[in-house]
Structure 1
Amino acid sequence: MGIWSWLTGREAEKARAPVVVPVPAPIPVLAVGDPVGALPKPVPVDVPVPAAKAAISDFSAAMEFILRPDNDGQPYHHDPRDHGGMTAWGVTAATWAAHNRQPLAWATKERMQALKREDVYPVYLKGFWDANNCDGLPRGVGFVVFNMGCGTGPKPAAIILQRLLGLAEDGRIGPVTLAAARAWDPVKLTKAYTDACLAWYKLLKQYPIYGRGWSRRATQAGEIAGRLAAG
Structure 2
Amino acid sequence: MDNFLSCLSFTLEMEGGYTNNPDDPGNWTGGRIKVGQLRGTKCGISAASYPALDIQNLSLEAIKDIYYKDYFMLIHGDKLQLPLAMVAFDAAVNAGVKKSIVWLQQSLKLQEDGICGPQTLSALMSGNPLEISREALARRLDFYMRSRGWDIFGLGWAGRVIKLAQAIV
**TM above 0.5:** yes
Single out whichever of 213-222 and 180-189 deviates more from structure 2.
180-189
**Larger RCO: 1 or 2 (CA < 8 Å, sep 6+):** 1
Indicate the SS of the match to 1:67: helix
Q: 111-120 vs 147-156, which deviates more?
A: 111-120
Cα distance in 2 for partners of 1:160, 1:83 equals: 22
C-alpha separation between the residues in 2 aligned to 1:174 and 1:210? 31
Offset at residue 127 of structure 1 (A): 0.8
Aligned residue identity for 1:196: R
Larger CA deviation: 175-184 vs 156-165: 175-184
Between the aligned residues of both structures, percent identity stands at: 27
Tell whether 2:51 aligns with 1:87.
Answer: no
Contact kept in structure 1, 2:75 and 2:101, CA below 8 Å: yes
Separation (CA, whole Å) in 1 of partners of 2:79 and 2:165: 18
Task: Kindly report the root-mean-square deviation, in angstroms, between the aligned alpha carbons of the 2 structures.
Answer: 1.5
Which runs of 5 or more structure 2 residues have no equivalent in the other structure? 28-39
Partner of 1:66: 11
SS in 2 for 1:164: helix
Q: How many residues align?
A: 157
1:95, 1:127 → 2: CA distance? Answer: 11
The answer for the alignment partner of 2:69 in structure 1 is: 126
| Whole-angstrom CA distance in 2 between matches of 1:137 and 1:58 | 8
CA distance in 2, matches of 1:94, 1:81: 13
Matched residue, 1:156: 99
Where do 5+ consecutive residues of structure 1 fail to align? 1-55, 97-103, 227-231
Alignment deviations for residues 73-132 of structure 1 (CA, whole Å, 9 cap, x no partner)? 20x210011110111222112433xxxxxxx3x33xxx2222111211110111111111
Counterpart of 1:203 in structure 2: which amino acid? R
Pick from 41, 55, 68 the counterpart of residue 112 of structure 1.
55
AA partner of residue 78 (structure 1): N
Give the superposition deviation at 1:204: 0.4
TM norm structure 1: 0.64
Q: How does 1:25-44 map to 2 (within 5 A)?
A: none
Match of 2:19 in 1: 77
- 1:167 aligned residue (110, 116, 129): 110
Q: Is the 8 A contact 1:133 1:174 kept in 2?
A: no
Task: Output the amino acid matched with 2:23.
Answer: R
Map of 1:221 onto structure 2: 164
Letter of the 1:145 counterpart: A
Correspondence 1:204-215 to 2 at 5 A: 204-215=147-158
Give the Cα–Cα distance (whole angstroms) in 1 for the partners of residues 163 and 48 of structure 2: 27
Match of 1:185 among 128, 141, 146: 128
SS at match of 1:137: coil
Aligned counterparts of 1:81 and 1:133: Cα–Cα separation in 2: 32
Matched residue SS, 1:220: helix
